[in-house]
Amino acid sequence: MDNFWANAAWSLAPTVLVGLIFWLIMRSIIHADRTERRVYSEIETEERARLGLDKPAS
């Protein structure tokens, strides 16, 4: 019983670490996608202003 908590921690450590790595990867992908969409929107707005278009075609 004296090693119970150490065994429990070592048993959970791989799952927690893999979960943390997965979370970090997904967070970076979502952040990159958000940034890319924002930059694309800014470029599109600049191009529309340059061409004199006020509204996007529906």
Q: 44-56 burial, b for 16+ CB within 10 Å, e for fewer?
A: eeeeeeeeeeeee
pLDDT at 55: 64
State how far the Cα of 33 lies from the Cα of 11, in Å rounded to an integer: 35
pLDDT in tens, 1-58: 679 989 999 999 999 999 999 999 999 999 999 999 999 999 999 999 999 876 655 5
Helices (H), the chain: 4-51
pLDDT at 52: 86
> Is 34 within 8 Å of 26 (Cβ atoms)?
no
pLDDT at 58: 54
pLDDT at 57: 58
